Amino acid sequence: MIFCTFSIYSIIFELMNDMPCSLCIYKSAAEQKLNADEISILENNHAKVRFKAGDIIVKQDCLSANVAYIKSGLVKVHVRGSIRERIVKITKAPTYLCLPSFFGDKTNHFSVTALEETHVCFFDVNVFKDFIYSNGDFAFQIILEMSKNELLNFENCINNSQKQNIGRIADAILFFADKIYNSDTFILPISRQELADLAGITRESASRILTDFHNEKIIDLQNRQLTILNKQLLLEISEKG
Amino acid sequence: MIFCTFSIYSIIFELMNDMPCSLCIYKSAAEQKLNADEISILENNHAKVRFKAGDIIVKQDCLSANVAYIKSGLVKVHVRGSIRERIVKITKAPTYLCLPSFFGDKTNHFSVTALEETHVCFFDVNVFKDFIYSNGDFAFQIILEMSKNELLNFENCINNSQKQNIGRIADAILFFADKIYNSDTFILPISRQELADLAGITRESASRILTDFHNEKIIDLQNRQLTILNKQLLLEISEKG
DNA sequence: CGACTGCTTGATGTTGCTCAACGTGCGTGG
DNA sequence: CCACGCACGTTGAGCAACATCAAGCAGTCG
């Protein structure tokens, strides 16, 4: 994570931050459907912000009139429940956030926190709304994105409610390996507590299961440095729940 | 339920079934934004179908090229998981179904079953797509509907993962009273098994909790005839989990 | 060095699932 | 018409999975 801050990517982001939207290489599928005039409207109604790991990007229950587009980085979407904190999902760039809160009502129904250096564009919601009205291509791309999200949410619901703890932790590890890092070796971007919040279990249970996996040579784990040793078995555990 | 079949509503539905879309009183918010030409396109690309309680409206894993609009009635959306059946949500008319499956890929990711007499319009997905491209008002209404759904899903996730069984059953009872029937007395439209699938617990646990509630005079329950006696307490149980 | 945070490990109690038994109502087929 | 299987519902006993409580350890920061 420290390396990242000084990497070539960081330099590119610097350049991008000073660049007009029309030349930005981090355009979403929806934005690619906009014409030059629309892009220039966008230009005048957005703010580019950089967040460090741990920074709060969106705060639950706050009033807000923006749509957030995650250009680069990794974030957790979490909700403060009546009993404990819950991480709803972890998602990497590029993606839109706050779309549901937005069109539903004017308050954020969840918080979003950066897990690593993250670059975000905030757009005025009314500009967004205008584009939906005027540009069918744009609207369709947004609907596509929301559809994919809904299907993912469905899967999550099923997984969380039917699997037992060991299966959920296996899920989480596989999620980071396959969906986030595309590698069986990575540095866990979250603490044990957060892993527990993600899996919906207690910190102690999460810890225990990780050491079990380590002892049974399913994973190698030094602090947050994780390597999957027996992926086949991990997949079976995830399957069987 | 039996009364319903022969009620005045039933007669209205009969009339509606023979009526052109332009005169149908069950138009969705999105459809109300369509012009006469568009309505007539709709007319030529849809099928009106009536389902009885227990009938399968949409079958999981089947290929499908339709969007379903629930005009009237009550349905359950359920998924066959690796371990057991799960009811994702119960929803009453009016609502769209299959939107997410649709734009994501071509197979249904869940089943939908009628819990009472239900009337459904099936539309060709391409017609729908065309409307999104050509009619911004229509697109925006669809996005609004999807946003509300996503917020509901979020809430569900939190509830399911943090509450214990007693809280989930309390939730389910309050859901039927407040969201479906708007009355503290109603006939439970589902079996104990289905209630368990909805709460994500076993049939035995659901049964036990219901008799506990009955014994503690929180509810009165004769078969499926349910009356809430102590709503305050039920709300507390739901809150505390 | 002491306070503090994040993590791990063990002991204990509770929750809820599984299994089993039994009653009921319904539809089917002999 | 009765016998039978089958889905549904209820209840009890035992057990596994988890949360909770408690203690201790390593690393870090002031």
The pLDDT tens digits of the residues spanning B123-151 come to 888 888 888 888 888 888 888 888 888 88
**Is A81 part of a structural domain of the chain?**
yes
Distance B203 CA to D13 C1' (A): 17
The pLDDT value recorded for residue B33 is: 76
**Is A9 part of a structural domain of the chain?**
no
**Is A101 part of a structural domain of the chain?**
yes
Give per-residue pLDDT as tens, B72-104.
999 999 988 777 888 988 999 888 886 666 665
Q: How far, in Å, CA of A209 to CA of A85, rounded?
A: 20
**Is A230 part of a structural domain of the chain?**
yes
Q: Is the pLDDT of residue A12 over 60?
A: no
Q: Cβ separation of B132 and A140 shorter than 8 Å?
A: yes
Residues A123 and A236 in one domain: no
- Where does the pLDDT of residue A239 fall: very low under 50, low under 70, confident under 90, or very high at 90 and above? confident
Of the residues A134, A159, A184, which one is the last residue of a structural domain?
A: A159
Residues of B with CB below 8 A from A166's CB?
none
Location of structure tokens 């849809």: B46
Distance B203 CA to C19 C1' (A): 13
The pLDDT value recorded for residue A175 is: 94
Residues A45 and A143 in one domain: yes
For A136, the domain range is 21-159
Residues A76 and A191 in one domain: no
Domain of residue A68, CATH code: 2.60.120.10
Residues A46 and A132 in one domain: yes
Dihedrals φ, ψ of B166, to 5°? -60, -40
**Is A8 part of a structural domain of the chain?**
no
Distance A158 CA to D25 C1' (A): 38
Give the three-state DSSP class for B174.
helix
Any B CB within 8 A of A100 CB: yes
Give per-residue pLDDT as tens, A170-205.
999 999 999 999 999 999 999 999 999 999 999 999
**Is A6 part of a structural domain of the chain?**
no
Which has the higher per-residue pLDDT, B104 or A60?
A: A60
pTM, entire model: 0.84
Location of structure tokens 């784990």: A221
Give per-residue pLDDT as tens, A120-165.
988 888 888 888 888 888 888 888 888 888 888 877 877 777 888 9
Dihedrals φ, ψ of B72, to 5°? -155, 155
For strand C, list residues 135-174 of chain B whose Cβ lies within 7 Å of it: 164-166
Q: Which range in A3-7, A82-86, A200-204, B130-134 is most confidently predicted, on average pLDDT?
A: A200-204
The pLDDT value recorded for residue A199 is: 92
Q: Is the pLDDT of residue B17 over 60?
A: no
Q: Which two tokens stand for residue B166?
A: 């007693």
Nucleotide of closest approach to A192 (CA, C1'): C7
Give per-residue pLDDT as tens, B151-206.
888 778 777 778 899 999 999 999 999 999 999 999 999 999 999 999 999 999 99
Residues B134 and B204 in one domain: no
Q: Is the pLDDT of residue B18 over 60?
A: no
Domain of residue B181, CATH code: 1.10.10.10
Of the residues B118, B143, B159, which one is the last residue of a structural domain?
A: B159
Which has the higher per-residue pLDDT, A108 or A173?
A: A173
Of the residues B134, B159, B184, which one is the last residue of a structural domain?
A: B159
How are beta strands B56-58 and A95-97 bridged, if at all? unpaired
C14 nearest neighbour residue (CA to C1'): B164
Interacting residues of A202 by C-beta distance below 8 A, sequence separation 6+? A196
For strand D, list residues 195-224 of chain B whose Cβ lies within 7 Å of it: 203-204, 207-208, 210-211, 221, 224
- Where does the pLDDT of residue A19 fall: very low under 50, low under 70, confident under 90, or very high at 90 and above? low
- Where does the pLDDT of residue A18 fall: very low under 50, low under 70, confident under 90, or very high at 90 and above? low
Q: Is the pLDDT of residue A74 over 90?
A: yes
Q: Is the pLDDT of residue B8 over 70?
A: no
Distance B158 CA to C16 C1' (A): 19
The pLDDT value recorded for residue B101 is: 62
Q: Cβ separation of A150 and B148 shorter than 8 Å?
A: no
Residues of B with CB below 8 A from A82's CB?
162, 239-241
Distance B167 CA to C15 C1' (A): 13
Give per-residue pLDDT as tens, A26-40.
777 777 777 777 777
Query: Do the Cβ atoms of A108 and A98 come closer than 8 Å?
Result: yes
| Count of domains forming chain A | 2
Distance from A61 to chain B by nearest Cα, in Å?
Answer: 13
- Percent of chain A residues past pLDDT 70, beyond the cut: 88
- Where does the pLDDT of residue A85 fall: very low under 50, low under 70, confident under 90, or very high at 90 and above? confident
Residues of A with CB below 8 A from B146's CB?
100, 143, 146-147, 150
In this complex, which of B104, B109, B158 lies closest to A79 when CB atoms are compared? B158
Q: Is the pLDDT of residue A83 over 80?
A: no
| Residues in a beta bridge with B225 | B187, B222
Residues B152 and B227 in one domain: no
Give per-residue pLDDT as tens, B203-235.
999 999 999 999 999 999 988 999 999 999 999
**Is B15 part of a structural domain of the chain?**
no
Residues B196 and B212 in one domain: yes
Q: Cβ separation of B147 and A100 shorter than 8 Å?
A: yes
In this complex, which of A149, A158, A241 lies closest to B86 when CB atoms are compared? A158
Distance from B70 to chain A by nearest Cα, in Å?
Answer: 19
Residues B136 and B178 in one domain: no
**Is B31 part of a structural domain of the chain?**
yes
Residues A170 and A72 in one domain: no
- Percent of chain A residues past pLDDT 90, beyond the cut: 39
Q: Residue B94: is the preceding peptide bond cis (ω within 30°)?
A: yes
The pLDDT value recorded for residue B3 is: 32
Torsion, CA A137, CA A143, CA A146, CA A151, rounded to 10: -120
Does any strand C atom come closer than 7 Å to the Cβ of A208?
Answer: yes
Nucleotides on strand D lying under 7 Å from protein C-beta:
8-13, 17-22
Both ends of chain A: CA-CA distance in Å?
A: 32
Give the three-state DSSP class for A204.
helix
**What is the helix, strand, coil percentage profile of chain A, to 5?**
50, 25, 25
Give the residue on A whose Cα is nearest the Cα of B131: A136
Residues A145 and A168 in one domain: no
Residues A102 and A155 in one domain: yes
Residues B210 and B139 in one domain: no
